Amino acid sequence: MAWSGRMSVTPPTLADVAERAGVSRQTVSNAVNSPELLRPDTLARVQDAIAELGYSPNRAARNLRTRASHLIGLKFNPAQEGTANAAMDRFVHSLVETSGESGYHILLFSGTTDVPLGGYDALLRSTAVDAFIVTDTYLGNPQAAWLTSRRAPFVAFGRPWDNPDATHAWVDVDGAAGAELATDHLLDKGHTRIAWIGWRKDSFIGEDRRSGWTRAMHARDLPTTGLASRVEDTVASGREAASVLLDEAHPSAFVCASDTLAMGVLHALGDRGIHWGQDIAVVGFDDSQVAQVVPGGLTSVRQPLEQVAVEVIKALEGLLSTPPVAGPGVLLSPTLAVRLSSG
């Protein structure tokens, strides 16, 4: 293509860049894939031509040669009705941004909790992705063990709850520390009858968060007997549990394992004409959009999901390097977003 000072109506090719820069096609290839092989002035000339023409290397051809897709598989389960939890949405958004900066792209595939390995096998067989991110370790699902047995690179968002001896890379948020932070916040405000509403006993994350509430209460020599409830993570369940606790335990404050359960508490208080934040304090967990938009706002534990995404991608880069580097698990600390619901 003779250079005329105008962009071609068809995408520029490697040959176009070579002609514009006055170099061979191999030199352009080296500039894209092995820039260290070129003299600085030659590399600069090729890079200028690439910028002027708007050239984008042929990803498909490069993938065939390197057997790398630069795609990371992430199973995205459907949202559960009747909940306020949108933490995964925030995490995925952060992950897409962070991975793009590192030259990777996130490939979402659908699935359900009923078929925990659905989608993984097909992507692994087709070599469509370079690695996976596993997010539902709290369900005790077998993805981690299955991927490990097939030597497939992956990083888990969540600790290996059911296998403490696991050696795979993981990143998690300290839920116990978050619940302790929330409880200490209420204790410092003078509350002594602080109730806990959490998830059922088979939930690893729920029990971890509950342990933070217990630790904070016991550190002040305060009782916890009769002040806790374990329920499903729905607004209706939180509402019912709060009603029972109000009648039987007479708490002055609630700490919940999720914003969903906290919203149930707010409903229960409203049913009785009790002003939350003034008469009874309420703290949730996850700092969802709902927590931020209810009148006065819901005080809630905020997970550093943006930092989780950064650490996950950092771990993936190590696993996909040559030779692979597997780092230790990373446990991040949450913060507390204080609003009017806690007084």
In a domain? residue 298: yes
Specify whether 99 is located in the same domain as 243.
no
195 with 94, same domain?
no
- Tens digits of residue pLDDT in 200-249: 998 999 999 999 999 999 999 999 999 999 999 999 999 999 999 999 99
Count the Cβ atoms, other than its own, within 10 Å of residue 144: 20
Tens digits of per-residue pLDDT, 278-295? Answer: 999 999 999 999 999 999
**Highest mean pLDDT: which range of 163-167, 276-280, 319-323, 324-328:** 276-280
164 in any annotated domain: yes
Stretch 303-325: mean pLDDT: 91
Domain assignment present for residue 4? The answer is no
181 and 234 co-located in one domain? yes
Burial (Cβ within 10 Å: 0-12, 13-18, ≥19) of residue 340:
middle
Is 220 part of any domain?
Answer: yes
pLDDT at 226: 97
Tens digits of residue pLDDT in 124-167: 877 778 899 998 776 666 888 888 888 889 999 999 888 878 88
Taking the C-alpha atoms of residue 251 and residue 191, their distance in angstroms, rounded to an integer, is: 9
- Measured over all CA atoms, what is the biggest interatomic distance in the chain, rounded to whole angstroms? 85
Same domain? For 76 and 224 the reply is: no
What amino acid occupies position 243? S
Is residue 107 domain-shared with residue 194, that is, in the same domain? no
Asked if the structure places residue 1 within a domain, the reply is no
Domain of 50, in residue numbers: 14-57
Residue 199: what are its φ and ψ, rounded to 5°?
-90, 170
Domain identity same for 125 and 109: yes
CATH of the domain at 82: 3.40.50.2300
- Per-residue pLDDT band for 116 (boundaries 50, 70, 90) equals low
Q: Is 256 in the same domain as 182?
A: yes
- Claim to verify: residue 41 and residue 79 sit in the same structural domain: no
- Which amino acid is present at 325? V
Task: Provide CB contacts within 8 A for 114, sequence distance 6+.
Answer: none
Is the domain of 75 the same as that of 167? yes
Q: Could you tell me which of 19, 14, 22 has the C-alpha nearest to residue 1?
A: 19
Question: What are the tens digits of pLDDT across the range 12-29?
Answer: 777 788 899 999 877 887
Is residue 101 located within the same domain as residue 45? Answer: no
CATH number of 33's domain? 1.10.260
Residue 74 phi, psi dihedral angles, 5° rounding: -140, 120
Q: How many separate domains does the chain show? A: 3
Whether 107 and 73 have beta carbons less than 8 Å apart is answered as: yes
pLDDT confidence band for 121 (50 / 70 / 90):
confident
Same domain, 224 and 167: no
**172: enclosing H helix or E strand:** strand 169-173
The pLDDT of residue 122 is 80
What's the pTM? 0.77
Give the number of residues written for the chain: 343
**pLDDT of 86 above 90:** no
Lowest pLDDT segment from 122-136, 169-183, 264-278:
122-136
Model confidence at 175, pLDDT cuts 50, 70, 90, reads very high
Q: Which residues pair with 73 in a beta bridge?
A: 107, 132
| 260 and 179 inside one domain | yes
